[in-house]
Structure 1
Amino acid sequence: MDSLPDQQSIRMGAAQEAVEHLGLLKPGAAATIKDLLCDFHGEHPRSVCTTYRKMGGQLSDDEKRAIGIRANAFLSRAALAEISEKGMLDPIRAHEITLLRASFVIFRHRNAQSYARMMANHPDYPIEIQYDVFHPDACTVCSGLDRTPVPADWGLFAPTGCTCLTAPYGLRSEVDFNAPLLAATKKVGAKSANSFLAKVRAFFTPD
C-alpha cells in the first residue's frame, strides 16, 4: 500500500475535491473548507458551517429575502461571496454539503491510518483493506465497490464516475485467520495452533 498523506495534505486535497466535484462553492473557497476541516472533531458539518456563517457582517433582511432565505438565517457577506451560482440554489447548505463530502475523506484517512499501523505491527497476518459502503444514498458506482479491495492509494477519494453528493463510504479490514493458523500448525502442532488462533481472533475482534 502507498504511504498515507499527512494531515495538511489530506485536508487540502479533500477540500479541493469536494469544491470541484460539487461546484457549490467557488474554487477559492477550498481554503475555507480546509480550515473548517481543522475544526472537525466529531461535530456535524451543519453545526461547523452554521458557526462559520455567523462570523462577520451579516446580510440584511432585505438581502436575505432577495436570495430566498429566511430572515433569521445566518449568512455573512464573506460566506456569500464564496458561494457559486449553482450553490445559490440553496445558499444555506452550500458550505455544509461541501464540508460533509470532504469530511468523509478525512474519516477514511483516519481509518487508513489505523489499518496501516495494524499492518505494520503485524506483518505476518494477511490483512486486506476493503471498501465499506454503508449509506443507502451512495451512487451505483460507490455501491458497487462494497467489500471489494481498495487500490494501493487506499481509496481515500471517491472513484471516477461517482455521482454522490458526499461519497459516504468507509474502509474495513479483512483478516485471513487461516494463514497464521497454518504457520502455527507447522511449527508447534495442531493443539498449540488452536490456542494461537484464538489469541489472534481475540486481538482483531472489537470488545
Structure 2
Amino acid sequence: MNTIRLGDVAPNFTAKSTEGRLDFHEWLGDSWGMLVSHPADFTPVCTTELGAMANCKEEFEERNIKVAAISVDPLEAHFEWIKDIEETQNAHVAFPLIADDKREIATLYGMIHPNDDATMTVRSVFIIAPDKKVKLILTYPASTGRNFEELLRVIDSLQLTQYESLATPANWQNGEDCVILPSVSNDEAERLFPKGFEEVKAYLRLTPQP
C-alpha cells in the first residue's frame, strides 16, 4: 500500500469519470481540490455522503474547491447510482465520479486497507492545494459517514493559514480568533496583525481573524 504524507505532491492519474476522461492535475488547474473515496456504489452511507457533498456545491465554489469522488466500481454503475443519489437525497450531482474498477488509483493513493477490507476502499479524504500538495488526509472506516461541515471548517482553516503566520485553535469556526505562531515575535505580530493580539502566555497569543 502506498503511503502519501502531508506535503507530498498528490499523485497524478488519468481515469474515466462521469464527466469524461479526467487528467487529475489538469482538471484541478489552479483550484483547491478534494478527492474522496467510497467503499462501493449503491451502499447506504455512501449515498447520503454524495448527496451531502452535492448539496454543498455553493460552499465549495465559494472556496475555489473542486470535488471528485472515486470508488472501485465501473462507470456504468456510477451513472445508475447517481440517479438514486439525486432521487433519495434531493440533490444534483455536479461533480465527477471516477471509475477505478482496476483499483489502480486506490492503490496509488493507499485507499485500500487490507486489515479492514481486502477489496473495498476506506472512506479517504485528500484535500489538495493549488500547488498540488496534499494539505489534509482523513480516513474513516466504511461504517462511518463523513461530516461535511467539518471538512468545510478544515478547508477554511487551511486557506486562512496557508499564507498567514497563524494557526486555528480547537473547535475554531470561520470568523473566530486565531493563534499566532510561536515563531512570530511580538514586534512582528504588531506589524502583521493590526487588529492587535492578546498574550495569554508567551507561546499562546490570540488575534482576531484577518
**What is the TM-score normalised by the length of structure 2?**
0.27
Higher helix share: 1
More strand by share: 2
* Higher radius of gyration, 1 or 2: 1
